[in-house]
């Protein structure tokens, strides 16, 4: 499998990775930027997300309409996203259209126009997007919680920024950040599918030949976050449901414990057979949406339980959730339950191998996070090797009374939670 993957690093620092997938007539190609909201100064909060939007407004040679028409002609499978740690632009096209798709992608990423009037309009669009988040209770609670959990750290700032910061993103400010941070050493170009590596390297070298070399980029020093353990109760009386988050520190994306951690999260709340789903939804009918998952950054992780329930049932949902955390701390997960989690994880990996989009995304993430390729076989063998003792070790390290955090949002008059209630 590994001989289908090739990697090239150009003198200017640009990294190009390809994975040839026999039998396909499609290819997913993308440009990932090693920059996200955690790499922004406080006064520039939201500028990575803003640039992700702004590049669609035109380049030196294409209008916004040109980009839209070209994208539709190529099949319309265009995705762009911003996270706390990366920004990405991907397209899935027929293999014959790779040169045109890459020309469009690279033009947008390397040579955006940043017209002042376009930027002012986009500021309004993004401020409307923020309002949409405020009108979506689970997302709104997530942002409130994140700000309290990662207080005084860039990971606690919203990816989309604030109305105050976004309103300052004029042409000069946006172009300066783009020129500095979208330099070749911060870019990873990946394609998966019916792709010839040397052909893509040639296209990439041509597209980014005017870009500055590796020495022209200022390195960003990333401060490791020190998570807080907030108890956050936010009243919003117009809501029908109460929304709940219970969270704790978790292994980061580079941790050797990440395989055991992912299986543990799956057992607790990763699917319809999980403990939380069965206990809260199936056995008692207390919630429609309930589950658990984790966010893994390069140097920090957060496990969280989420549930939406009627305010009068919130206490019971909290107690049931805490009971599941106490249970995995005190008792080993059974072999049968562990095998179910492993089967679920392995199936997900194997199904993902059929998707050029999934493979391209995995290649990019591994390069950015680990600086190396981690094969599906290696991941599967690491998952299969996880023992109940490994999972209990993660549980005991993560689910400690002093580290647990809780947030709730809704019509919560008189509702309180004290620290003693979170005793594990």
| Cβ atoms < 10 Å from Cβ of 75 | 14
Length reported for the chain:
424
Which residue is associated with the tokens 């990439």?
204
Q: Residue 397 has which token pair? A: 């390290």
- 94 has which bridge partners? 26
Separation in Å, CA 124 to CA 58, 137, 256: 17, 22, 43
DSSP label of 264: H
- 410 has which bridge partners? 235
In angstroms, what is the C-alpha Rg of the chain? 23
β 15-20/187-193 pair status: parallel
Q: Tell me the C-alpha distance between 3 and 354, whole Å.
A: 17
Q: Which of 19, 52, 85, 367 is catalytic?
A: 52
Give the full edge-to-edge strand order of the sheet including 26-33: 5-9, 15-20, 187-193, 26-33, 87-94, 77-82
Phi-psi region of 352 (alpha: psi -120 to 50; beta: other; left: phi over 0): alpha
Q: Residue 405 has which token pair? A: 């955090």
Reply yes or no on whether 52 is catalytic: yes
Active site (catalytic) residues:
52
């Amino acid at each position: 499998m590994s001989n289908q993957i090739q990697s090239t690093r150009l003198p200017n620092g640009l990294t190009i990775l390809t994975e040839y997938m026999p039998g396909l007539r499609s290819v997913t190609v993308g440009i990932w930027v090693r920059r996200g909201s955690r790499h922004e100064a406080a006064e520039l909060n939201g500028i990575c997300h803003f640039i992700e939007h702004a590049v669609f407004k035109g380049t030196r040679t294409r209008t916004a309409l040109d980009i839209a028409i070209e994208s539709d002609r190529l099949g319309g499978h265009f995705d762009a996203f911003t996270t706390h740690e990366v920004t990405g632009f991907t397209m899935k096209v027929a293999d014959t259209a790779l040169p045109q798709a890459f020309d469009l992608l690279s033009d947008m990423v390397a040579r955006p126009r940043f017209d002042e009037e376009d930027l002012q309009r986009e500021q309004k669009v993004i401020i409307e997007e923020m309002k949409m988040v405020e009108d979506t209770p689970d997302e709104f609670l997530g942002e409130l919680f994140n700000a309290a959990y990662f207080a005084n750290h860039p990971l606690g700032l919203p990816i989309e920024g604030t109305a105050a910061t976004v309103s300052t993103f004029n042409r000069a400010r946006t172009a300066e950040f783009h020129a500095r941070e979208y330099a070749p050493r911060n870019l990873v170009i990946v394609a998966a599918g019916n792709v010839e590596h040397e052909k893509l390297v040639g296209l990439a070298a041509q597209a980014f030949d005017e870009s500055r070399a590796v020495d022209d980029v200022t390195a960003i020093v990333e401060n490791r976050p020190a998570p807080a353990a907030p108890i956050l109760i936010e009243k919003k009386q117009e809501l029908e449901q109460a929304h709940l988050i219970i969270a704790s520190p978790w292994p980061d994306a580079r941790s050797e414990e990440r395989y055991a951690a992912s299986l543990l999260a799956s057992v607790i709340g990763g699917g319809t057979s999980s403990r939380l789903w069965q206990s809260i939804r199936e056995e008692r009918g207390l919630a429609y949406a309930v589950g658990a998952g984790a966010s893994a950054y390069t140097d920090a992780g957060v496990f969280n339980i989420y549930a939406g329930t009627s305010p009068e049932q919130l206490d019971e949902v909290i107690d049931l959730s805490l009971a599941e955390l106490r249970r995995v701390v005190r008792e080993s997960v059974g072999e049968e339950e562990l095998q179910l989690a492993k089967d679920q994880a392995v199936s997900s990996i194997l199904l993902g191998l059929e998707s050029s989009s999934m493979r391209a995304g995995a290649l990019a993430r591994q390069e950015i996070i680990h600086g190396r390729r981690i094969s599906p076989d290696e991941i599967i063998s690491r998952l299969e090797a996880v023992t109940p003792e490994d999972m209990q070790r993660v549980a005991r390290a993560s689910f400690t009374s002093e580290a647990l955090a809780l947030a709730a949002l809704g019509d919560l008059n008189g509702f309180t939670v004290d620290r003693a209630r979170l005793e594990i």
